[in-house]
């Protein structure tokens, strides 16, 4: 298994854990070179929240375009089919400067250094 697939498998495992009753109040924390990103993973279609619906449509369109371009070049797609990003709602980016909040954020897995679950950064 490639490093990218291993990283995505571990990330998906942590993200899916939030759907368990015991972890419902947790957030997914991702350590990146830019800082700490936290949020709630979005896996299912969510049409009730326009921010999430737009992000899902954009991500889906991008994956289709990459797949189509790769098919035209007779190569296997290098992006998307191995799920190289994760969509987070209620996302936060914490760096040395003020915290930045996002209603929705697509995070590319190649930038993730570490992952964990927790309710906040101080007592995760």
Domain contains 29? yes
Q: How many domains does the chain have?
A: 1
Angstrom distance (rounded) from CA 91 to CA 35:
13
Residue 106 Ramachandran class (φ > 0 left, ψ -120 to 50 alpha, else beta)? beta
Q: Please tell me the distance from the alpha carbon of residue 115 to that of residue 74, in angstroms, as a whole number.
A: 35
pTM here?
A: 0.74
In which domain, by residue range, is 108 found?
Answer: 3-118
Rounded distance between C-alpha atoms, residue 6 and residue 112, angstroms: 12
| Mean pLDDT computed over 10-39 | 92
CA–CA distance, 39 with 117 (Å, rounded to integer): 10
Handedness of CA 29, 39, 28, 121 (dihedral sign): positive
Domain of residue 108, CATH code: 2.30.30.100
pLDDT digits (tens, 9 = 90+) for 57-100: 888 888 888 877 777 665 544 444 445 788 899 999 998 888 89
User: Per the domain annotation, does 123 fall within a domain?
Assistant: no
Which pLDDT does position 101 carry in this prediction?
A: 94
């Amino acid at each position: 298994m490639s490093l990218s697939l291993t990283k995505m498998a571990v990330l998906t495992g942590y993200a899916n854990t939030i759907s368990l009753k015991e972890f419902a109040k947790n957030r997914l924390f991702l350590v990146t070179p830019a800082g700490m990103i936290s949020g709630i993973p979005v896996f299912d279609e969510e049409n009730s929240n326009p921010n999430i619906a737009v992000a899902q449509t954009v991500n889906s369109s991008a994956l289709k375009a990459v797949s189509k371009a790769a098919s035209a070049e007779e190569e296997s797609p290098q992006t998307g089919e191995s799920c190289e990003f994760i969509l987070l709602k209620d996302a936060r980016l914490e760096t040395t400067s003020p915290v930045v909040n996002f209603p929705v954020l697509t995070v590319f897995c190649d930038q993730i250094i570490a992952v964990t679950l927790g309710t906040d950064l101080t007592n995760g």
